[in-house]
Amino acid sequence: MTRTKVAVIGAGNVGATAAQRIAERELGDVTLIDIVEGLPQGKALDLWESGPVMGHDSRLTGSNDFAAMQGSDVVVVTAGLARKPGMTRSDLLGKNAEIVRGIAESIRKHAPDAVVVTVTNPLDPMTWLTWKVTGFPHQRVVGMAGILDSARFRTFIADELKVSVREVEAMVLGGHGDTMVPLVRYATVNGVPIPDLLPAATVERLVQRTRDGGAEVVALLKTGSAYYAPAASVLVMVESILRDQKRLVPCCALVQGAYGLSDVYLGVPVVLGRGGVERVVELKLSADELKALKGSADRVVADIRELKV
């Protein structure tokens, strides 16, 4: 019987941590791929040797050859330059586009049946670029962002109210950057909307901290960017795909008509199953929420126009 296989491209902090979480959840065997000689092999070996301690039988291997992704059910793309203090995600556009373009060509060649989860920033245009270069059906190319941004919003809400994060649900849409759209009306604590629990000024402060969540981590680390929470968000997506859980989660997906938008990759609620994005879910947004979402889409479209495919 053929075992499920996940390829993680990029053996840096995000990629290696995602590989660890995927292996420990026993979602399949994991292949780490990176251009740095010895890096993916060493990290994969170290992770594999943790199996007896953590109690999982996932096999982890590393390679510098993109052909090692052959037969993958899911390919996670984390490779690229990380943000430094003062940099925006858009600053990374040109440099990471070159990296992602080459990776997408390799995916098209070596893993033509895989579902691709893009993590590289700037997330939305990189996901669009991956879709264009692979030529895959758009359902099989999806970006990780909304789950991470929603997790940050949930964390800040729980901390403010001094309640368990398990009781907090939230949904953040839009581009993965400072134009993201945290939906305050859909943020709840055990079903109670947060506007009923917190003053408007406090809610707005939490919304802004969510928008600045990635930059806050970068400023503190000084030499890197977030990876624990991004890797956890990747895990949610990979598990929903491989186990066909059909979870309703915010992801970067191709929007074709929903919310009055067309032909743009953007963070929206989707049902995520074995074939990738099964459908985009259109929520009833207020006029202000819809305006903010369209403004976020405009920013993504501007970035996409800078890319040459």
Residues with catalytic annotation? 176
List, in order, residues 6 or more apart from 209 with CB less than 8 Å away.
152, 156, 216
In one-letter notation, the amino acid at residue 24 is E
Alpha carbon separation from 244 to 138, 239, 275, 292 (Å, rounded): 18, 8, 8, 32
Contact in structure between 100 and 80 (CB atoms under 8 Å) = yes
Strand-by-strand arrangement of the 168-169 sheet: 168-169, 188-189, 192-193
Question: What does the block give as tokens for 273?
Answer: 């199953």
Query: What CA–CA distances, in Å, run from 11 to 228, 241, 256?
Result: 14, 22, 33
CA distances from 14 to 53, 62, 82, 224, 258 (A): 22, 15, 10, 11, 31
Distance CA 299, CA 232 (A): 27
Spatial contact of 242 and 74, defined as CB atoms under 8 Å apart: yes
Contacts 24+ apart (CB under 8 A), 209-218: 209/152, 209/156, 210/149, 210/152, 210/153, 210/156, 210/172, 210/180, 210/182, 211/177, 211/178, 211/180, 211/182, 212/178, 213/149, 213/152, 214/83, 214/89, 215/83, 218/83, 218/84, 218/85, 218/87
Q: What angle do CA 127, 303, 32 make, to 5 degrees?
A: 30
